[in-house]
């Protein structure tokens, strides 16, 4: 099985870009970490509110 030359060239270009770290300027680590923290707090809240002793 072989892929067309244009697809291979596109994959090579994609791989070359990945070796430079691949960081996106739009992803703010404080925003992502804060969002994950809020989601975990909400999960903790839901878990503790609906935990009923039997």
In-domain check, residue 35 = yes
The number of domains in the chain is 1
Residue 29 covered by a domain: yes
Is there a domain that residue 22 lies in?
yes
Residue 40 lies in a domain: yes
Residue 27 included in any domain: yes
Task: Label residue 1 by pLDDT band (50, 70, 90).
Answer: low
pLDDT in tens, 4-41: 777 777 777 766 665 565 566 678 889 999 999 999 99
Tell me how far apart the alpha carbons of residues 44 and 51 are, in angstroms, rounded to a whole number.
11
Q: Quick check: is 45 in a domain?
A: yes
Instruction: Report if residue 25 sits inside a domain.
Output: yes
In this structure, is residue 54 part of a structural domain?
Answer: no
Residue 50 has pLDDT above 60, yes or no: yes
């Amino acid at each position: 099985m072989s892929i067309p030359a244009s697809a291979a060239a596109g994959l090579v270009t994609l791989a070359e870009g990945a070796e430079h770290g691949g960081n996106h300027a739009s992803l703010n680590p404080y925003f992502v970490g804060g969002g994950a923290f809020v989601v975990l707090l909400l999960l903790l809240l839901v878990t503790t509110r609906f935990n009923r002793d039997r």
